[in-house]
Amino acid sequence: AQVGGPPATPTGRRRALLIGIGYFGTAAELPWSVGDVQTMRAVLARVGFAPEWTLCLTDDQQDPRYMPTQRNIIAGLRWLAHSTAPGDALFFHFSGHGGEERDHDANHADGEATDDALVPCDVQQSGQVTENQVHELLLRPLPVGVRVTATVDCCLPCSFLELPYVCDPSRGWIEDAY
């Protein structure tokens, strides 16, 4: 996906993927993550994101299709990017634990490189969802002119989406140094 260029004419199509993982009943419990998704869903509804185009994956319910497993997160990322067009607006939110794992694709002469990663509820069985996976599934397929807004609330100082620019609160948009 390219960054920049003239703004696309808004299509009005909006889609959101909201993920909240509380890891309930474990030593890693995060009791506010599911509430974050509920809050984000309400805010997005107020700005025109229809409920039928907002996919919520949370670990506080019983339907396995909506549990934030590695498989469902990957499927959700594919769904979010599918059939987009210039002028579409996408929103991605993750509230849960972040992790790191060795980046097997990196070619760094200065030592071993790591990827930031999202920790799904089934991490012990299926593994993490790396920043490389998120970039390949969500961003690379997008045509120029699709707007993506992402909030990642986890314990890592993520440059998570591997974008060339990040927003620094004191300096505005700056080139990512990582």
Catalytically active residues are 97, 155
The length of the chain in residues reads: 178
Half-sphere exposure of 110 (CA within 13 A, CB side): 2
User: Angle at the Cα of 136 (from 141 to 130), degrees rounded to 5?
Assistant: 155
The H or E element spanning position 132 is helix 131-134
- Rounded distance, CA 88 to CA 14, Å? 6
- Rounded distance, CA 171 to CA 142, Å? 27
- Closest by CA position to 131, among listed 107, 154, 110: 154
